[in-house]
Amino acid sequence: MKNFMKFMSIYYPIIFAFICMLYSIGMSITGDTEGAAYSAHWPGTILLFAIAIRQRRSANKLK
């Protein structure tokens, strides 16, 4: 259980972004192209915010 929690604490943004990408692909397949185009931006945004948050955390640890 400890290893799983450590894994999730590191990779949760990637997993969440992947789920959002699958959601967008599913919407596109079902014909909702406008919704798919809107939700296609979510994975990149999630990953960018995760990178920014981790950089801020590591910068605060150095002080």
Residue 60 has pLDDT above 90, yes or no: no
Q: Is residue 60 part of a domain?
A: no
% pLDDT > 70, the chain: 98
Which tokens sit at 51?
A: 């990178």
Domain count for the chain: 1
Residue 59 has pLDDT above 90, yes or no: no
Q: Is residue 48 part of a domain?
A: yes
Q: Is residue 7 part of a domain?
A: no
4-24 average pLDDT score: 93
Q: At which residue do the structure tokens 């789920």 appear?
A: 19
Q: Is residue 5 part of a domain?
A: no
Range of the domain at 45: 13-26+40-54
Q: Is residue 19 part of a domain?
A: yes
Q: Is residue 31 part of a domain?
A: no
What DSSP designation does 57 have? H
Which has more pLDDT, 23 or 61? 23
Is-contact 17 43, C-beta < 8 A? Answer: yes
Q: Of 24, 28, 54, which is closest to residue 40 (Cα–Cα)?
A: 24
Which has more pLDDT, 1 or 49? 49
